A and B are shown apart, each in its own frame.
Chain A
Amino acid sequence: MSLIQIQQDEKIRSTVADSKIQRAVYSATARLKEKRSEVVSADALPEYQELRTQANLIKKHTLENLDFYLEEFEKNLTANGGKLIWARDGKEVADFILGLAKERGVKMLVKSKSMTTEEIHLNDHLEAHGIDPVETDLGEYIIQLAHDRPYHIVAPAVHMTRLDVADVLEKNLKVEREEEPEKQAMIARRTLREKFLAAGIGISGGNFLVADSGAVTIIENEGNARLTTSAPRIHIAVVGIEKMIPRAQDLAVFLKLLGRSGTGQLLTVYTSFLSGPRRAGDADGPDEFYVVLMDNGRTRLLADSEKRQSLYCIRCGACLNACPVYRKIGGHNYPGAYSGPIGAIITPQYHGIKENPWLPFASSLCGACAEVCPVKIDIPKILLELRKEVVESRAADSDSFAERKAFQMYAWMMRKPKLYALAGKIGSKLAGLPGLTSFGPAAKWARTREVPRPAAKSFRDEWRDRKKGGR
C-alpha cells in the first residue's frame, strides 16, 4: 500500500468522524435529492424517461462523430466573429489566457463557476504570473477566500456553515462580522460588483457547446455568469470538447433535464446562449469572444466505445447526492476536481488508472447513481470495468502476491466439495473467536465494518437436514 493511500485513509476517517461536516453534507444532499424527485416524478414530468433516452442518444451520436461537430462549431463560431482556441491540456489554456492578459494589459479578471478550470488549476497558474482571478459565484468566492476547494459540483461550499462563512468574510474582507446568509450574500454582492465593472477579462465555463450555432450555453442562478460574460471587454469560455451537442433545438431536451436533476428547478434562473462578440447596434456585450476547446485527457476516453459514455456527463451533481459513499466521505476525499460517482469514473480515466487505483473501488455498486443520471451513464458498469483494469495492472505487483495466492487457493478448494465443507466448519469456528480481527489485514478491514457472526449451522448442513426431513 502506497503512502498516498494511507494518507487518504486517514483523511476519510477524519471526515467520517466530523459530525459537523456529516450533518451539513447529509442534509444538503438529502434536500437536493428530494427536490429532484419531486420534479422528475411521473406526475410532474411524464416524459422524463423519454427525455433521458433522447439525451443519451444525442450525446452518443455527438461523441461518435465528434471531429465533425468540433469543426462545425469552429466554422459557425468564426462566422459569428468569435475565435476558437484549441488546447491539448491545462497548460495550453493557461498560456493562452496569460498571453492575452499580458497583451491587453489586464491584471484582474472575473470568473464564473467552472469545474473545467478547477480541473486544470487555472487560478494557480494565473496567480503565479501576477494575474488576479476573482471567483464570483457566491460559494466559489467563499471557497477562494478560504483557500479551500469545491466540495460538490453544484454546491461548492456545502461543507461550510454560516459561522464558517462569517469567519472567512470577516478575516479576508475586513468587514463587520455577519452571521446571516442574506447579509453575507450582500457583502459579496457589494465587493464583487466593483470587480465586475473593473475587470478586463471575464472567464466562464460552458454547459453546452452548440455546433449548429457556434454558441456556448451557460446556466446559473445568481447572475454572476451573465455579469462575467457581459461586463468585461473580453469573454473567454473554457470548455471541454465533450460538451458538444449538434443543434440548438437539442437544448429543449437537455435544459429540461439539467436544472431538474441538479437542484430541482424547472430551469435555472438564467440560461445564456452566447454566440460571439457584441454585434453592430448591440448596446453592450464583450468586444472579443473566445472559446477555448480543451482536451486534457478526454480523447483518451473516446477510443473505448463502452467507457466513452463517461463523457456524456452534463455535471448536474445528481449522482453525488444519491451516492451513499459520497454522502459519507464527502467531496474532499476524491482526488481532482470531480467528486462522487462521476469523479470516480472520470478522474482515473483522464489521469490514468495507476494514479488513484482505489477510486473505482470507492463504491458499493448500489446503482443509485445510474438511476438518477439524466443522460443514463451506466456508472456501476464503468466502475467494474475500471476495477478490472486496476486488478490486471496490479497482478504483476509484488504486494498483491498474497491476495492472488489466496484467491487461487479458494478457486482450487471450490472445486473440491468435501474439502470446502471442512474448511467452512473450521472457518466458522475461527471467525467466532473475538481476537481474530484485532490485528493483521483483518483488523484494517474490520475497523469500519461489523464482523458478521457465522450462523451456528451452515447453509449446507441446513439444506441437507431439510431434505432429510422431507421439507
Chain B
Amino acid sequence: MTSREQILSDVRKALGRTAGQAPAAQPKARIVIPTIAVEERVRLFQERLEVLGGKVHRAATYADAARVVGGLIEGTAVASNAAVLRYAGVTAMAGVSSGYGDEPSLRAACASAPFGITGADYGLAETGSIVTVGANEARLVSLLPPVHIALLSKSRMLTGLDEFYTLHPRPALASASTVFITGPSRSADIEMILVRGVHGPRVIHVIVVDEELI
C-alpha cells in the first residue's frame, strides 16, 4: 500500500466514510462587508498602517505620485513590472531600473538597491494592508530592498479581507502568489523588543492616488 492509500484509508476508517463519498453540506462561508465611504477607508488605512510604523502619502494624479517617489528615493531603486509604474513615469526616473527579463539580474538588482517600488492591487482599510496579486509584481522587489514604496489607487481601497475574498474567491486563479503586506517587516523575538526590518523592508511607504485607473 502506498502512503497515499494508507493515509486515505486510515482517515476513512476513522470517520466511517467510503472512497468517493460526497462530503456533508458545507457550512456557509461567513462574508460580511461593512459599508465604509471611500475617504473614510483611506483615513482608516492610514491610521492602521501608521500605527505599525508605515507611512501613507496622498497624490491627486499618478504624475504627482511619481513626484512623491522622487522625493523619497536616493541613489538607485528597482521597480516591478506593474503597468501603473510605467504609466506614472516612475520607471523612466533617474536611478530607477526595471523590466528585468531574467531572474538572476532581477535578484542582483533587488539585493543591492536601497529602494523597491511596486504597485498594489488592493488596499485593505481595516488592517492597513496592501495586496499584490498577479504576475507583474516580482516577489523580491517588495522583499529585499530595505525600503518599499507602493502606489495604490484610491478606487482599489477595499474595506477589508471579506471584500477581497468576494472579489477573489479563488485567488489561485489569478496568480501563484497572493500576498498581504501589513506594515514593515518586524520581530519581537528577543526580549519582546520590537525590531523593524529583520528580513524584509524596515520602511514601507504607500502612496494613495486619487486618479482613477483606466
Residue positions of A touching B, CB distance < 8 A: 24, 27-28, 31, 47, 50-51, 54, 57-58, 61, 64-71, 76, 80, 86-88, 92, 136-139, 142, 155-158, 160-162, 165, 181-182, 184-185, 188-189, 192-193, 196-197, 210, 212-215, 221-224, 226-227, 230-231, 241, 246-253, 255-256, 263, 265-279, 281-285, 289, 293, 295, 299-300, 302-303
Complex CA gap A24/B193 in Å reads: 12
Complex CA–CA separation, A277 to B176 (angstroms): 7
Is there an interface contact between A80 and B172, defined as CB atoms closer than 8 Å? yes
Is B182 at the interface (CB under 8 A from chain A)? yes
Alpha-carbon separation in the docked complex, A39 to B4 (Å): 41
Indicate if the CB atoms of B193 and A181 lie closer than 8 Å.
Answer: yes
In the complex, the answer to whether B172 meets A249 with C-beta atoms within 8 Å is: no
Does B189 lie at the interface of the complex (its beta carbon under 8 Å from any beta carbon of A)?
yes
Distance in angstroms from A242 CB to nearest chain B CB is: 10
Q: Is the CB of B127 within 8 A of A222?
A: no
A-B contact count (CB 8 A): 262
The smallest beta-carbon distance between A315 and chain B, in angstroms, is 16
Q: Residue B3 at the A interface, CB < 8 A?
A: yes
Q: Of B65-73, B83-91, B195-203, B205-213, which stretch is located at the interface? A: B195-203
Considering the chains assembled together, what is the distance between the CA atoms of A138 and B137 in angstroms?
A: 26
Nearest CB on B from A306, distance (A):
13
**Given A31-B192, A64-B24, A282-B135, residue A70 in contact with residue B11 (CB < 8 A):** yes
- Across the interface, B172 reaches (CB within 8 A) one of A51, A192, A196, A275, namely A275
Is B35 among interface residues, defined by CB-CB distance under 8 A? no
B176 near A247 with CB under 8 A, answer no
Cα A436 to Cα B137 in complex, Å, equals 74
Are B180 and A283 in touch, CB under 8 angstroms? no
B124 to chain A, nearest CB (A): 8
B186 in contact (CB, < 8 A)? yes
CB of B106 within 8 Å of the partner chain: yes
Assembly CA distance A452 to B36 (angstroms): 60
A241 and B11 form a contact (CB under 8 A): yes
Cβ A285 vs Cβ B14 within 8 A: no
**Judging by beta carbons under 8 Å apart, are A251 and B161 in contact?**
yes
The answer on a CB contact under 8 Å between B138 and A283 is yes
Closest residue of chain B to A289, judged by CB?
B176
Say how far A349's CB is from chain B's closest CB, in angstroms: 13
Give chain A residues whose Cβ lies under 8 Å from the Cβ of B144: 193
Q: With the chains together, A271 CA to B180 CA distance in Å? A: 5
Report the separation of the CA atoms of residues A24 and B192 in the bound assembly, to the nearest whole angstrom.
9
B171-198 residues with Cβ-Cβ distance < 8 A to A are 171-172, 175-193, 195, 197-198
- 13 more CB-based (< 8 A) A-B contacts, given A247-B169, A275-B176: A64-B15, A66-B11, A157-B189, A182-B193, A184-B190, A222-B200, A247-B29, A248-B165, A267-B124, A273-B171, A273-B172, A274-B176, A275-B172
Taking A64-B24, A71-B8, A162-B190 as contacts, is the C-beta distance between A285 and B31 under 8 angstroms? no
Given A188-B198, A248-B169, A302-B15, A230 and B103 touching (CB < 8 A)? no
